[in-house]
């Protein structure tokens, strides 16, 4: 009975203690790279980019991402223990990010990965703050995990 209440409460929380700590860690690791991309968007006519959070169990996710990504994509380790990585795909729109995520899911399925979570945010303008983008990314990821949406590609666009 108590365990059922705890599970139900967990599903209703967007940011519990673990989520808040993860959000702060992700913000800390992505703030400077995102500042550079926002600068390029404002001053160098850089096009949109996609930022992704990916996690998977029972595989070497970092190696698989490195095999699939382009030279212009930037990989960041968010939490090695949880096998959580962020990938920034420069000059990419949501459809390109989605195709990349499909390739990743295919590669992960071949390697029999478990608990694959993939969320992506297309950032099409610099009108949002870095914190808003980062927190939306984390919120989307945590909701996917809480809703047990393993194997799905979840995306949002921030224009």
Domains of the chain: 2-158 (3.30.70.270)
Residue that is written with structure tokens 């599903």 in the block: 11
Q: How far, CA to CA in Å, does 89 sit from each of 1, 96, 123?
A: 45, 9, 10
Residues 39-77: pLDDT tens digits?
Answer: 988 887 778 999 999 999 999 999 999 999 999 999 999
Q: Quick one: which H or E segment has residue 123?
A: strand 114-123
Q: 77 has which bridge partners? A: 85
Q: Is 79 helix (H, G, I), strand (E, B) or coil?
A: strand
pTM above 0.85, yes or no: yes
Q: Which of 50, 43, 62 is CA-nearest to residue 159?
A: 50
């Amino acid at each position: 009975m108590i365990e059922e209440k705890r599970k139900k409460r967990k599903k209703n929380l967007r940011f519990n203690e673990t989520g808040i700590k993860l959000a702060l860690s992700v913000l800390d690791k992505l703030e400077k790279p995102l500042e550079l991309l926002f600068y390029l968007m404002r001053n160098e006519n850089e096009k949109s980019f996609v930022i992704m959070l990916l996690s998977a169990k029972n595989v070497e996710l970092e190696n698989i991402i490195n095999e699939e990504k382009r030279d212009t994509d930037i990989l960041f380790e968010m939490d090695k223990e949880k096998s959580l990585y962020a990938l920034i795909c420069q000059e990419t729109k949501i459809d390109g990010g989605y195709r990349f995520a499909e390739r990743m899911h295919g590669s992960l399925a071949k390697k029999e990965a478990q608990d694959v979570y993939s969320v992506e945010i297309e950032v099409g303008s610099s009108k949002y703050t870095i914190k808003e983008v980062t927190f939306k990314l984390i919120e989307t990821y945590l909701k996917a995990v809480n809703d047990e949406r393993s194997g799905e590609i979840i995306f949002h666009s921030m224009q």
